């Protein structure tokens, strides 16, 4: 048995060769100048016998042929332990920006260069809010792999480094790890946030400031999104869930809500558009375009807007005033004040179904044009008949006369078809005749009110409460 300590310090003689062991017990090497031709020749001639002798001494890792490593002739070398592979999380591309700790710095650099970019691109290029749908995969988890033990030249096992017990990320309550696929998925829809190495999803989320270039356009999916600031010029907020806006909008804002919308500020801007698939409660509206599939509640005023509501409209709190623009409502309308002292042109229509009224009005116009054309053609036909009786109808004029008769028959049939369509649509429109417009305090002259397709312009100021309703296709008043 070789003395290990001696082998390291002084070396051991095996035959004519002095052999030493490295301090870490991983290498067995030949003492001497590795470039000495006599030493190399001697080693080559005696290598097979030397290998047998080394194996008899119980050494491991003896090489098939000596190797030159670090200016030493290595005869045997141990196998180092293989380190463990730590666990890792591979995020899908959509969520990679959440890992970028420098994203705010990059945004600032982007803003500095914004004069070189289209602003629309800049609004899309940086999005601070990233959401996941329910059961959407966010990342894949790869578990750690233990290391492989090594062995030194004495045959002793060498333990691999231990695996860190601390996980790279911990999962919040609204995430789960799918066993078979190792996919990390969302339990609920919401905003994905990584804070202090913890991944969490917030179905209810609050943006504490404005929607501007520091946030980007917002595409939210979850239970509720609250914006404490304003939505700045040209930005989009598309929300699947309830949206609450504490501030106001600037112009050219686009808001789309698949749920209810609450706004404690003012929705403003001729190019601002709001689409809501639910109920909307708005404090004030100025020059904006609204499309509300549920009920609309105005807490203060609705002025100079283009509004379409598929439920009821109420403006009975605060100032409760509507003037300017055109307001079309499928249901009933209840308002404190309609119009203003300046007699601003205002149209307020109840029982207005755009899929019925607009085609109906188009058909009515078409009917009028057809009648006008038929009258002209009828005059031509009568003139031709007169010329024929007088024997003055030449063959050329007769051809023209026959073409006029042919066109007359064609337009007559077209008029009949139009009348039938009008009757059919009118039956559907009549289902909304029971809608009313109720004014609690006052309606000013110059306001045009309508129920279904029937309209009426208020001739003088009227005090409320007053209810406008439809009877025998005439708008009546009831106080």
pLDDT digits (tens, 9 = 90+) for 444-464: 999 999 999 999 999 999 998
Write down the pLDDT at residue 168. Answer: 76
Question: How many C-beta atoms surround the C-beta of residue 270 within 10 A?
Answer: 13
Q: Name every residue whose Cβ is closer than 8 Å to that of residue 6 and which is 6 or more positions away in sequence.
A: 12
* C-beta of residue 465 within 8 angstroms of C-beta of residue 438: yes
Cα–Cα distance between 182 and 44 in angstroms, integer? 55
pLDDT digits (tens, 9 = 90+) for 48-104: 888 888 888 888 999 999 998 888 899 999 999 999 888 888 999 999 888 875 555
* C-beta of residue 333 within 8 angstroms of C-beta of residue 350: yes
pLDDT bracket for residue 106 (50, 70, 90):
low
pLDDT at 380 over 90: no
Write down the pLDDT at residue 97. Answer: 86
Report the first-to-last Cα separation within the chain, whole angstroms: 119
The proportion of the chain whose per-residue pLDDT surpasses 70, expressed as a percent, equals 95
pLDDT bracket for residue 118 (50, 70, 90):
low
Among 44-53, 270-279, 368-377, 428-437, the range of highest mean pLDDT: 270-279
Tell me whether strands 273-276 and 254-258 are parallel, antiparallel or unpaired. parallel
457-466: which pairs have CB atoms within 8 A and are 24 or more residues apart?
458/338, 458/339, 464/336, 464/439, 464/440, 465/438, 465/439, 465/440, 465/441, 466/438, 466/439
Cα–Cα distance between 369 and 232 in angstroms, integer? 47
Of residues 203, 271, 213, the one with CA closest to residue 240? 203
Residue 473 tokens, joined: 């296709």
Q: Domain residue spans in the chain?
A: 4-77, 88-150+157-189, 362-432
Question: How many C-beta atoms surround the C-beta of residue 390 within 10 A?
Answer: 8
Residue 136 tokens, joined: 């959407």
Query: What is the average pLDDT score of the chain?
Result: 90
* Bond from prior residue into 465 cis (ω within 30 degrees of 0): yes
pLDDT bracket for residue 6 (50, 70, 90):
confident
The number of C-alpha atoms within 13 Å of 266 and in the hemisphere containing its C-beta is: 15
pLDDT digits (tens, 9 = 90+) for 320-337: 999 999 999 999 999 999
Question: How many C-beta atoms surround the C-beta of residue 423 within 10 A?
Answer: 10
Write down the pLDDT at residue 110. Answer: 52
Determine which helix (DSSP H) or strand (DSSP E) holds 50, and give its type and residue range: helix 37-56
pTM given for the model = 0.78
């Amino acid at each position: 048995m070789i003395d290990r300590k001696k082998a390291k310090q002084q070396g051991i003689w095996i035959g004519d060769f002095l052999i030493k062991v490295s301090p870490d017990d991983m290498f067995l090497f030949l003492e001497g100048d590795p470039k000495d031709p006599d030493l190399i020749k001697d080693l080559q001639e005696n290598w097979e016998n030397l290998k047998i002798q080394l194996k008899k001494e119980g050494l491991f890792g003896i090489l098939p042929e000596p190797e030159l490593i670090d200016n030493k002739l290595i005869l045997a070398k141990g196998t180092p332990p293989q380190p463990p592979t730590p666990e890792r999380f591979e995020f899908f591309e959509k969520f990679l920006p959440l890992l970028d700790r420098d994203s705010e710095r990059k945004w600032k650099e982007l803003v500095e260069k914004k004069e070189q970019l289209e602003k629309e691109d800049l609004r899309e290029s940086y999005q601070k809010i990233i959401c996941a749908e329910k059961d959407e995969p966010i990342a894949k988890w790869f578990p750690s792999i233990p290391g492989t033990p090594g062995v030194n030249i004495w045959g002793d096992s060498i333990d691999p480094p231990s695996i860190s017990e601390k996980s790279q990320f911990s999962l919040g309550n609204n995430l789960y790890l799918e066993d078979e696929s190792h996919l990390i998925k969302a339990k609920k829809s919401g905003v994905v946030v990584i804070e202090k190495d913890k991944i969490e999803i917030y179905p209810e989320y609050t943006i504490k400031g404005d929607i501007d270039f520091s946030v980007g356009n917002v595409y939210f999916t979850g239970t509720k999104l609250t914006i404490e600031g304003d939505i700045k010029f040209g930005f989009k907020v598309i929300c699947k869930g309830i949206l609450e806006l504490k501030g106001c909008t600037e112009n050219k804002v686009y808001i789309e809500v698949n749920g209810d919308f609450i706004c404690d500020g003012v929705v403003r801007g001729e190019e601002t558009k709001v689409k809501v698939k639910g109920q909307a409660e708005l404090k004030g509206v100025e020059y904006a375009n609204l499309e509300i599939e549920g009920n609309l509640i105005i807490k203060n005023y609705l002025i100079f807007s283009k509004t379409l509501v598929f439920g009821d409209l109420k403006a009975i709190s605060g100032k409760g005033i509507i003037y300017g623009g055109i307001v079309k409502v499928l249901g009933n309308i209840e308002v404190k004040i309609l119009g203003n002292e300046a007699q601003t042109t205002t149209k307020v229509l109840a029982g207005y179904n755009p899929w019925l009224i607009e085609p109906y009005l188009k058909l009515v116009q078409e009917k009028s044009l057809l009648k006008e054309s038929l009258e002209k053609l009828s005059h031509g036909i009568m003139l031709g008949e007169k010329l024929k009786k007088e024997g003055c109808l030449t063959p050329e004029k007769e051809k023209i006369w026959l073409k006029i008769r042919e066109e007359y028959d064609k337009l007559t049939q077209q008029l009949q078809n139009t009348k039938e369509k009008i009757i059919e649509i009118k039956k559907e429109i009549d289902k909304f005749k029971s809608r009313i417009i109720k004014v609690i305090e006052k309606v000013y002259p110059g306001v045009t009110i309508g129920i279904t397709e029937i309209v009426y312009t208020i001739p003088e100021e009227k005090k409320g409460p007053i209810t406008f309703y439809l009877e025998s296709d005439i708008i009546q008043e009831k106080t």
